[in-house]
Amino acid sequence: MIERTLFTSDHESFRDSFRRFIDKEIAPFHAEWEEQGYVDRKVWNKAGENGFLCMSMPEQYGGSEADKLYSVIQFEEVARAGVSGIGFSLHSEIVAPYILHYGTEEQKAKYLPKLASGEMIGAIAMSEPAAGSDLQGVKTTALQQPDGSYLLNGSKTFITNGWHADLVVVVAKTNPTAGGKGTSLVLVERGMPGFSVGKRLKKVGMKAQDTSELFFDNVKIPAENLLGGKAMENKGFICLMEQLPWERLQIAIGAVASAQAAIDWTVDYVKERKVFGQPVAAFQNTRFTLAELQTEVQVARVFVDKCCELICQDKLDTATASMAKYWTTDLQCKVMDECVQLFGGYGYMWEYPIARAYADARVQRIYGGTNEIMKEVITRSMGLGGK
């Protein structure tokens, strides 16, 4: 195995600390959370108390000013442990950065410290019933009123952290006739009149991750809740495009870590499980299958680690991030399927982590932009754009 050079000793010390947190505060309760369809709110507070939320945010806003590699470690450890219900990554490395990069000083001071402490849980609302990966097809509107406020109407679906969310970054059209150029981001707080959370959606996998529908019925959004203020009106699509490389890389990081975890579980299992009087590992098919999977995951990890280096240098482009997202999530699903097969009937039992990881993996090829969309992005970077 190639030695990873991405992390320092400080990074690895942090990995040990965060792994202990998962083992103590998350893993023992995750099965219960899968049954209820959401994680307990108190785990967010404990994560905040331990400094595990919004780590890359500046200290003045409650963060640690840590480099992104600390967040990479968190993504990897959550995937390794198979605790897919934890929505820390979206909260800390998608929602908070939107506010940090594009928000006004007042918005940063108001929201970021509460996100870092776990007092507030954040979500981002992009997907709609009729507009999944097509962000330009958003129908939700936020129309300015004579008093300067905005009236928000529409609905969103498949929203991670939606059930718990205290703050939602909502993608809406402030100029419905301008296509993507009429998109803005508005900050919606829990309790605003007209804002309601729908049912928790029952999913094939990621059962402990609260995923909800959100509804906006004439929600009055104060002018100061337009992300970035008036200067950022109708510039939401640009913001979304700028953040997509990091968001898609996060999915790739988790995909590789999850695939490696599946291989590790399977290696342990086939050594112990006996068939026809000998360990499953004694069969050439088992060994060759695992050799092929490990090789592909190793190749993927080297590529993803390189992408992590680029993101830390602000050099990761959208096409490369799309390559990482599509390739690694396809591989993740392949690895899960092969490993379930090697587990035999036990691989289909929910009590085994490989079964849960198998169910959790499938959505990876869908969210963050479907893998078909990823291929469109890649081809356009090659000068092969379609209509």
Q: Which of 34, 93, 247, 272 is catalytic?
A: 247
Closest CA to 32 of 207, 240, 225, 244: 207
DSSP string over 130-189? TBSS-GGG---EEEE-TTS-EEEEEEEEEEETTTT-SEEEEEEESSGGGGGGGEEEEEEE
CA distance 86 to 293: 27
Residue 59, exposed/middle/buried by CB under 10 A (0-12, 13-18, 19+)?
exposed
Closest CA to 175 of 150, 193, 147, 146: 150
User: Would residue 119 show up in a list of annotated catalytic residues for this protein?
Assistant: no
**Beta partners for residue 278, in sequence order:** 275
Instruction: Characterize the bridge pairing of strands 167-173 and 122-125.
Output: parallel
The sign of the torsion formed by the CA atoms of 16, 17, 21, 22 equals negative
For 234: left if phi > 0, alpha if psi spans -120 to 50, otherwise beta; the answer is left
DSSP string over 115-130? HHHTSS-EEEE--BTT
**Helix, strand, or coil here: 190?**
coil
Contact between 205 and 153 under an 8 Å Cβ cutoff? The reply is no
Backbone phi, then psi, for 275, in 5-degree steps?
A: -135, 130
Instruction: Characterize the bridge pairing of strands 141-144 and 195-200.
Output: unpaired
| DSSP state letter for 211 | E
Half-sphere exposure of residue 204, counting CA atoms within 13 Å on the CB side? 10
For helices 236-272 and 68-81, angle between their N-to-C axes, nearest 10 degrees: 40
Contact between 238 and 184 under an 8 Å Cβ cutoff? The reply is no
Known catalytic residues are 247
